[in-house]
Amino acid sequence: METRLPVSALQADLFISELDRPWIDTPFLIEGFLLESAEQLEQLKEYCQFVTVDIERSTGGIARWGFLTEKKFSALPLLPHIQYQTVEIKEQITLLKELRQLFAKWSQNKAAAANAPYVEPQIIIYADSRPIKQELQQAKTIHRSASDIIANAMAEISRDLQPRAEAINTVVSEMVDSIIRNPSALLWLSQLKNANSYTYEHALDSAVYMLAFGRHLGYPREDLHTLGFAGFMLDIGKMKLPKTLLQHHGSYSPGEFSMMKTHVWHGLDILNQIKDVPLDVYDMVARHHERLDGSGYPIGLKGEEIGLFSSMAGIVDCFTAMTSNRAHAETKTSHAALQLLYKWSDKYFHPALVEQFAQCIGVFPVGALVELSSGDIGIVAGQNRSRRLKPKVLLILGPDKRPHARPSLLDLMMNPASSSGQEISIRKEWPQGSFNINPQEYFQG
């Protein structure tokens, strides 16, 4: 039994099940919490006006708190997508506008740009409208469908047949919906790798991360669809290369690498066979291997002239490749891959975009297997927007590396402390499969 109360009417021992704003915009646990301290109440007053209380989960239950359902409080309507113009969000909008303007200067003719009227970019700050556990089940169905569709498309291309764009567009639309509701679900699924299907999974992962990146940068739905479609197509040209080259172990010889680079031109040829492909998709396929310092291919573009979408694609393509099971290179953890992107920024990738990508997925992304300073082992289950080093972690193993009787969610944003009084933080990320932990056993929706 639930009832809606103003924060001013709250008392200790009530269970808070919903807020009047997205959980991700607050420091509280995503699945609700028992109000136990004055500090919690002060935090609630800072962030909220009204909350939803679960009477049955409150201490004492209906017998103690049933009277609250009979009281009449003036309530605000519950809006799942409500946007709060906090200082943090306003700063984010300003930053994203400046980022788009920076790239626009390079993409326009200087003379034309001087006389062109300024068009204010549309920035959307999305709020999660569904918890990850609720979104995950639907995301799994979408993820499986997307995997089958991209596998079929690649099989058709390898047989010189035209891929079915309608099926791809349909599943991209479903992925856009899921990413808008809660990007963590599809990002979680992208952490689960299959060593035998790099080509398909790389395409699917690229689409997921392009969508999540675009959502983070505030693009509207139609642009997200373009980014997702492009993610599928970035390396589609590799289906025209010899299988021996794709399954090659170790470093490429100069000749082999020259042949590998031709996948860009093959990809553009394939796009020409598909009807109504947006020009932005062509650009991303053509330019996702261009680099900031001009050292990329196929034509050596430099700086922001590569374009914002194509620069995003370059970061995503590199990240998803490094974190996948490739025949010719070792698999890196998400944290290690991000560290390399930071190292290469200012030379190969635009620093501002690398920073935004890290903000998007978190320093320790959803689905990452991590060890805490307490010795516990857990899975990153959610991000805190303002503190990316302090995600929500589902604890699986104790310090002795034995399973907890029941996995519990620890929000590092709340600055939890160990038994010795030391603040708990993430010590390191472990590769997927470590400690025989199967992430698919958790967050079943």
Average pLDDT rounded to a whole number, residues 363-376:
89
User: 406: which DSSP letter?
Assistant: E
The whole-model pTM stands at 0.75
Short-list 248, 397, 35, 192, CA closest to 19 = 35
Angstrom distance (rounded) from CA 177 to CA 146: 13
Handedness of CA 400, 405, 406, 411 (dihedral sign): negative
What are 239's two structure tokens?
A: 């289906």
Is the pLDDT at 268 greater than 80? The verdict is yes
Span 20-24, mean pLDDT? 62
Q: Determine which of 92-101, 153-162, 273-282 has the lowest per-residue pLDDT on average.
A: 92-101
Domains of the chain, each with CATH number or no CATH: 2-70 (no CATH), 132-361 (1.10.3210.10), 369-441 (no CATH)
Mean pLDDT value across the chain: 84
In DSSP notation, 149-163 reads HHHHHHHHHHTTPPP
With tokens 């310090």, the residue in question is 399
Q: pLDDT exceeding 90 applies to what percent of the chain?
A: 40
| Pick from 201-205, 288-292, 325-329: least confident | 325-329
pLDDT tens digits, 215-257 = 999 999 999 999 999 999 999 999 999 888 887 776 778 898 8
Tokens of 145: 């469908």
Judged against a pLDDT cut of 50, whether residue 439 lies above it is answered with yes
Pairing of strands 426-430, 369-372: antiparallel
Q: What pLDDT does residue 214 have?
A: 96
Asked whether the predicted pLDDT for residue 303 surpasses 80, the reply is yes
Instruction: Answer yes or no: is pLDDT of 197 > 90.
Output: no
Mean pLDDT to the nearest integer, 340-351: 92
pLDDT in tens, 74-114: 444 433 333 434 456 777 788 888 888 888 776 565 445 55
Mean pLDDT lowest among 27-41, 364-378, 414-428: 27-41
Rounded Cα distance between 236 and 253, Å, is: 22
Say if residues 58 and 15 touch (Cβ distance below 8 Å).
Answer: yes
295: exposed, middle or buried (Cβ count in 10 Å: 0-12, 13-18, 19+): exposed
Mean pLDDT of 135-142: 92
